[in-house]
Amino acid sequence: MKQPTEAKISAVCPLCGATYHEPPALSRTDGESLICPDCGIRQALDSIGVKPDEQEKILNTIHDSIRQNKP
């Protein structure tokens, strides 16, 4: 599948208020709001029954692995 050319993104997440630069996620709660990737992950984890404190642990793990992959 061909990916569209990614423009530089700078948007503010309506859920957590963070400015993000990654492609946004679609909110699962209303199906139309664009939210930051972190909140997208939170909602995905929430939908499978992961508790909020577990969600933050998983997000920290994801952030750590992203940092390690960057120069």
Site size for Zn ion (CB under 5 A): 5
What six digits make up the tokens of 59?
């997000």
> Is residue 25 a contact point for Zn ion (CB under 5 A)?
no
- Pick the stretch among 13-21, 23-31, 53-61, 63-71 that binds Zn ion (CB under 5 A): 13-21
39 binds Zn ion (CB under 5 A): yes
Q: Using the rule CB under 5 A, is 15 a contact of Zn ion? A: yes
Query: Which pair of tokens denotes residue 44?
Result: 């995905």
Q: Strand, coil or helix: what is 42?
A: helix
Which of residues 5 and 47 has its CB atom nearest to Zn ion in the complex?
47
What dihedral angle (degrees, nearest 10) is formed by the CA atoms of 20, 26, 32, 36? -20
